[in-house]
Structure 1
Amino acid sequence: MNPPALLLVGHGTRDEAGADAFRAFVETLRAADPDLPVGGGFIELSPPPLSDAVAGMVADGVRRFAAVPLVLVSAGHAKGDIPAALAREELRHPGASFAYGRPLGPHPHLLTILERRVDEALAGSPSTGRADTTVLLVGRGSTDPDANAEVFKVARLLWEGRGYAGVETAFVSLAEPSVAAGLERCRRLAAGDDGTGGRVVVLPYFLFPGVLPDRVRDQARDWAAGHPGTDVRYADVLGGEPELAALVMERYRETLTGDLRMNCDSCVYRVKLPGFEDRVGRPQQPHHHPDDPAHAHHGEPGHDGPDHGPDHHGHGHPHAHSH
């Protein structure tokens, strides 16, 4: 019997380079193991739609899928949108089954890539010492405090044992501190006796290129233009590195064994966190996506994906970690 197919699920982006990077990553995994059926699709914004990817694999005889969300944190897409999309595929393809894995981070493989990106940003500098460098890790930002806290955890783990002067955290949308506020904090922490603002590496916590990573760099450049005393460097996104491929396969194997170990201790749909008490037990309201012909989309302009409000996310679907 053939193994369950690996189905990579991405959110989608308006940036063609980002969509190309996702598709190339799918091809890399497919080539790595010719005996493993591998496919991938997006829930919105980019081709191929998830529905097309699944239909093509079903036509090739695939009936069992292990779906790995290609997202970094457990925010609304991982908790609501992707499980809802998989549920629709089950209805479209009677006899097909979908096991759902967990998001990618935080994980040591990702920390290894982030460390590499910082070193690349420092290359060619007159002084490449980590002790003189503060890193600003910039995440997407979410209305889910648990997802934002995951980015702070990654920042702390990146700081541990690597010798940076510090690792601070910022977000490009939906959450504070902003990129500018994060850079200002880095400047003040690194300011020397001569009044200079030290060296800062802006490190985007994104898998592939896209609208939001571009916005991170634009906002950082705007801030740097007004603060010439601070040496601001710009790191690249994570990208389809071998460590990312290894992590996806780890998540795939977890999905097959049922050893998902998802952390629900600080989930707003289970725990009454200050300011989010009304979300506990809230019914699932998955976001509708335009690439699914049965659904319409009402997103906000100017983002890789919509900035969903607090009524958007939940855990009611059986593919998600229900409470």
Structure 2
Amino acid sequence: MSRPPALLLVGHGTRDAAGAAAFRSFVDQLGAKSADLAVGGGFIELSPPPLADSVAALVEAGERRFAAVPLVLVSAGHAKGDIPAALAREEQRHPGTSYAYGRPLGPHPKLLTVLERRIDEALAGADRADTTVLLVGRGSTDPDANAEVYKVARLLWEGRGYAGVETAFVSLAEPSVPAGLDRCLRLGARSVVVLPYFLFTGVLPDRVREQAAAWAAGQPGLDVRNAEVIGPEPELAELVLERYRETVEGDLRMNCDTCVYRVKLPGFEDRVGRPQQPHHHPDDPSHSHGPHDHDPHDGHGSHDHGSHDHGGGHHAHAH
């Protein structure tokens, strides 16, 4: 029986040391639980190790086939362009290697289960029926990515008995966290749980908490609580392995109906067919860093320069 492809986890990167450490710890934990599977992980920018180092180590250990799973929640610029470009570059660097590319993690019932748990922890026994949840995503200039966060909010609302689930973003998109809280107040919320839609801690989840606290200080009559990020829960590990199996089997379908790189959406017509290019990592300076659509504080913003692959492989198409 041939050796299974190595599992390659690809993260974006963060300037927050704890967030980067959480990613590395998750990769190590997943590797320890998967004794029959080679597991590695790296970042496309900002944090060590760069993806190039992780791939090089796996190649040195004898791996030639890789199934890459993007450790991101929505299909924004990272998943659609940056990561496929990085994988294409690694294939050029290591002749004889091959890469299959998986899809982002959310939305998925396993993630919804963890989000529900985070809300319950914040409620600490308080009534769900009196609670409005404000789900806060990272935010993107990709409308499809922002729409995915709204889908998660609706799925979270269904059948769980909350008074409502509203949506906001912490960067690059509206409504902002304060605007989202204003909306909850106008809708008659008695208590609000601010729920960050992030995998691990970082600059932007911290900003969500700070903005919510600043807003709540001006509304002493409203109970505003902050939930924790998703974190390295067992469900996350199970979901990554599920995405790995999908990738190996090759039956993957990305959403193309509202993709700005394929479809002319109002205000985004110039992005159709825009070519992808590799991302910059400070520890991998062999290529140039083009203009990106960053949140200047963290590098967690969405990039909108890449087209993406709509099948199981990693190569993008210039639509």
1:226 to partner: Cα distance: 1.0
Gaps of 5+ in 1: 192-197
Moved more, 282-291 or 163-172: 282-291
1:129 to partner: Cα distance: 0.8
Aligned pairs (5 A) from 1:1-323: 1-123=2-124, 128-191=126-189, 198-297=190-289, 302-305=296-299, 307=301, 310=304, 312-315=305-308, 319=314, 322=317, 323=319
- Structure 2 letter corresponding to 1:54: V
Structure-2 separation of matches of 1:304 and 1:22: 16
Indicate the SS of the match to 2:134: strand
- Structure 1 letter corresponding to 2:297: H
Indicate the SS of the match to 1:227: coil
- Structure 1 letter corresponding to 2:94: H
Aligned length: 313
1:287 to partner: Cα distance: 3.6
Structure-1 separation of matches of 2:23 and 2:158: 30
Moved more, 131-140 or 220-229: 220-229
1:280 to partner: Cα distance: 2.0
Determine if contact 2:6/2:37 at 8 Å carries over to the other structure. Answer: yes
Structure-2 separation of matches of 1:58 and 1:172: 38
Determine if contact 1:284/1:316 at 8 Å carries over to the other structure. Answer: no
Determine if contact 2:138/2:301 at 8 Å carries over to the other structure. Answer: no
Structure-2 separation of matches of 1:169 and 1:153: 10
1:35 to partner: Cα distance: 1.1
Structure-1 separation of matches of 2:31 and 2:119: 29
Gaps of 5+ in 2: none
Indicate the SS of the match to 1:268: coil
- Structure 1 letter corresponding to 2:268: F
Offset from partner CA, 1:186-245 (integer Å, 9 cap, x none): 111125xxxxxx100000000000000000101111111111111100000000101101
- C-alpha change, 1:33 and 1:286, in structure 2 (3 Å) is closer
Indicate the SS of the match to 1:282: coil
Determine if contact 1:132/1:199 at 8 Å carries over to the other structure. Answer: yes
Determine if contact 2:194/2:226 at 8 Å carries over to the other structure. Answer: yes
Determine if contact 1:269/1:314 at 8 Å carries over to the other structure. Answer: yes
1:28 to partner: Cα distance: 1.2
Q: Where does residue 194 of structure 1 map in the other structure?
A: none
1:9 to partner: Cα distance: 0.4
Percentage of identical aligned residues:
78
TM-score calculated relative to the size of structure 1: 0.92
Determine if contact 1:190/1:199 at 8 Å carries over to the other structure. Answer: no
